[in-house]
Amino acid sequence: MKKIKLLFTILLMFVSCISLNAQDIDDLLNETDVNKTEYATATFKSTHIVSGHSIERMPEGQLDFRISHRFGEINSGAYNLWGLDQANIHFGLDYGITDWLMIGVGRGTYEKTYDGLLKLTLWRQCKGEKNMPVTISYLATVAGNSLKWEGTEPLPFWDRLSYTHQILIARKFNERFSFEINPTYVHLNMVATEVDPNDVWAVGLGARFKLTKRISVNAEYYYVIPPVNDFRSTTTYHPLSIGFDIETGGHVFQFHLSNSLAMIEKGFISETTGNWLDGGIHIGFNISRVFALK
């Protein structure tokens, strides 16, 4: 009987030691989690919300090949199959130099434009040991119009260029909802007439709401300052785009509606001529395919 009591006492002490050690391990893990910095990921599913850029950039060594397509205006009627007979295309290649720096080049049918971009991440949204409520990126683009010049005097190359600078500020509020605000400056070296501004300021707003694991709805709006129709030779409108992101493994397919024909900042921010209220809407889509080169 004494041997049984002794054995039971030793077993009880052994179980108590295991429990204490397990408690110590749990405390250590909890302390590690507190000191760990957790960064927000997939604030947006692509480097673009619709036409404009999101805060996302390609990781180091990855190449994004993007095909963007925009049809004609829906109000063009049945003869043009409600815009489907017309096409405007842009091809783009974006490459991650590092995990915080991305460069890209593109070519579009809109004014036969060649364009280049640089995007870098300045701060990332995180919590834990470090806390940052938003992700902030900087975007700079340059675009060159390559249409044949019909004037009597030669047109210098520099007059064909335009530049865009954006600060992209976004927050992922939860697994479903993300929001972005983009203060924007566009400079046009050449404008159509003397009354058209060379400098255009705008504030962009973008949002993403996740419907399912692979589908989200996106919206994008740019408010142009000063009002778009003040002192301009052509009537323009604030660009508004609404669409869906559909992730299919290595592809991201974006289907959208927009009153802007152009798919580069210079075009859709300062030169949008479609009006949602009278059917000046373009059906469009983007296809993004990522290749791991490193």
Q: Is residue 111 part of a domain?
A: yes
Cβ-Cβ contacts under 8 Å for 259 (sequence gap 6 or more): 237, 239, 240, 241, 272, 274, 275, 276, 280, 281, 282
Q: Is residue 213 part of a domain?
A: yes
Question: What is the torsion angle, in degrees rounded to the nearest 10, for the CA atoms of residue 153, residue 196, residue 270 and residue 183?
Answer: 120
Q: How far is CA 208 from CA 44, 55, 111, 290, in A?
A: 7, 12, 30, 21
Low-confidence ranges of the chain (pLDDT < 70): 1-35, 227-231, 250
Residue 230 has what pLDDT?
Answer: 60
Residue 211 has what pLDDT?
Answer: 94
Residue 12 has what pLDDT?
Answer: 42
Cβ-Cβ contacts under 8 Å for 55 (sequence gap 6 or more): 43, 44, 121, 135, 136, 137, 168, 169, 170, 180
Radius of gyration of the chain (CA): 26
23-51 in b/e form (b: 16+ CB < 10 A) is eeeeeeeeeeeeeeeeebeebbbbbbbbb
Residue 43 has what pLDDT?
Answer: 94
Number of structural domains in the chain: 1
Using one digit for the tens of pLDDT, what is the confidence trace for 57-97?
A: 999 999 999 999 999 999 988 998 988 999 899 999 999 99
Q: Is residue 165 part of a domain?
A: yes
Residue 6 has what pLDDT?
Answer: 44
Q: Is residue 26 part of a domain?
A: no
Q: Is residue 19 part of a domain?
A: no
Residue 194 has what pLDDT?
Answer: 81
**CATH code of the domain covering residue 248:** 2.40.160.40
Q: Is residue 2 part of a domain?
A: no
pTM to 2 decimals? 0.84
Full residue range of the structural domain in which residue 45 is found:
36-292
Q: Is residue 30 part of a domain?
A: no
Q: Read off φ and ψ for residue 241, nearest 5 degrees.
A: -135, 140
Residue 10 has what pLDDT?
Answer: 42
Residue 177 has what pLDDT?
Answer: 97
Q: How far is CA 123 from CA 38, 46, 104, in A?
A: 13, 18, 21
